[in-house]
A and B are shown apart, each in its own frame.
Chain A
Amino acid sequence: NAGVTQTPKFRILKIGQSMTLQCTQDMNHNYMYWYRQDPGMGLKLIYYSVGAGITDKGEVPNGYNVSRSTTEDFPLRLELAAPSQTSVYFCASSWEETQYFGPGTRLLVL
């Protein structure tokens, strides 16, 4: 039981490039979330999903897109990378009130 896994662990992007951050969970949770954490700050919700085919915006969705075609996978897409998107990205899934987090993806946009 791997829990929540994320790939890649670290990536450097040039401004304007695009990439997809992968997230997979094997706990059969319906709810999944994407957060970003900037230095010295708490985690901020980017997007969330309540089940396959259903997604909605969180607090800071601009510059990102998501899809949820299966229960297990919830990829996050950056279309035109900007320096402001330099951050650590965490994916989570939840059972009732408790969210379980992946190890994170560190993204640097130069």
Chain B
Amino acid sequence: DQQVKQNSPSLSVQEGRISILNCDYTNSMFDYFLWYKKYPAEGPTFLISISSIKDKNEDGRFTVFLNKSAKHLSLHIVPSQPGDSAVYFCAASARIGGGNKLTFGTGTQLKVEL
């Protein structure tokens, strides 16, 4: 039972264009969502997040959109750069004993081509 789904295993985009990565979730208890970026042989790096009370959060070239009714979020990268090539994980957060438990999607491999 996969509660967080990233249905596109890979995405290829030209440099300078927009990259849109999608994520769907099923559990209504998730109240915070995060995107992580991962390079090979490194740990995931936090990119951007959004609370369930918002529908948009922006940080430089990165914008995350949340559609609660559709249980869908997306990450927009504009403009895309070759250094953005990495695996992007969507994660959804639920409270556990004062901390938070993250449930991860399976990731989308983004390739930004020159």
Q: A-side interface residues toward B, CB under 8 Å?
A: 4, 30-31, 33, 40-45, 48, 50, 56, 58, 90, 92, 94, 97-104
Closest partner residue, chain B, to A90 (CB atom):
B43
B104, A97: Cβ atoms under 8 Å? no
Q: How far is the CA of A7 from the CA of B34 in the complex (A)?
A: 26
Q: How far is the CA of A31 from the CA of B41 in the complex (A)?
A: 24
Q: How far is the CA of A94 from the CA of B42 in the complex (A)?
A: 18
Which of A30, A41, A58, A104 contacts B43, CB < 8 Å?
A104
Given A31-B99, A42-B104, do A101 and B89 touch, yes or no (CB 8 Å)? no
Which residues from 69 to 114 on chain B have a C-beta closer than 8 Å to any C-beta of chain A? Answer: 89, 93, 96-107
A35 to B: closest C-beta gap in Å: 8
A101, B43: Cβ atoms under 8 Å? yes
A68 to B: closest C-beta gap in Å: 12
Q: Report B-chain residues with C-beta under 8 Å of the C-beta of A41.
A: 106
A97, B93: Cβ atoms under 8 Å? yes
B46, A50: Cβ atoms under 8 Å? no
Given A48-B99, A48-B101, do A99 and B46 touch, yes or no (CB 8 Å)? yes
B101, A58: Cβ atoms under 8 Å? yes
Which residues from 8 to 39 on chain B have a C-beta closer than 8 Å to any C-beta of chain A? Answer: 9, 32, 34, 36
B97, A98: Cβ atoms under 8 Å? no
A11 to B: closest C-beta gap in Å: 15
